[in-house]
Amino acid sequence: MKRIPKTPIEFDYDLWTTEDGKCMVRVKRTGEVTEVDRDVMKALRAEEKRLRRSYTGSNSDDTEEDEVNSSTLSLDALPEDDVKASAWLVDPRDFAEEVTTAMLEQDFLRILTDTQRDIFAKVLREGMKPYDYAKANGVSASSVTQHIQAIRIKAKKYF
């Protein structure tokens, strides 16, 4: 029977070492348990100690109590000011919107000609200049411009 240490409710993780020396982490919310590298375990325990000391204002050396309490780490343990200022807590990207946009773009590409698809990819998506595209593909710059206009007309109708 494995022994998972009891930790305060406000912590998100349980940290422990098994009898055979494996470093384990359990996410309280999901119950997911995983083995982590010893360096990761050291970093998590050091961070947890640092957070505990920031609350107490203590800079003393490790005590036995610190060792007992060092078995957990929590994002909830951050001081309120740090939580508000921590941009890393929120992912600014909207993956649902990215997936929807990619699907719409794939459908839109089906109504373009092969030349228009190539111009769309290289000029409109990758940012190649129309003149450079024309030179690289042996066509006139005005032809590339006309294709871009046709792509934009189709896009207005499609979207």
pLDDT in tens, 7-33: 444 456 778 888 888 888 887 778 888
| The pLDDT of residue 134 | 96
Residues 75, 31, single domain; the answer is yes
Tens digit of each residue's pLDDT (9 = 90 or more) over 86-130: 555 556 677 788 888 889 999 999 999 999 999 999 999 999 999
- Count CB atoms within 10 A of the CB of residue 94: 10
Strands (E), 103-154: none
Q: Which of 37, 52, 86 is the last residue of a domain?
A: 86
Long-range CB contact pairs, 30-33, < 8 A, 24+: none
Structural domain of 70: 13-86
Beta carbons within 8 Å of 36's beta carbon, 6+ residues apart: 23, 24, 25, 44
Q: Which of 59, 86, 113 is the last residue of a domain?
A: 86
Buried b (16+ CB within 10 A) or exposed e, 42-80: eebbeebbebbeeeeeeeeeeeeebeebbbbbbeebeee
Of 41-45, 72-76, 132-136, least confident by mean pLDDT is 72-76
| The pLDDT of residue 8 | 46
Check which CATH number belongs to the domain holding 122 and give it: 1.10.10
Q: What is the domain count for the chain?
A: 2
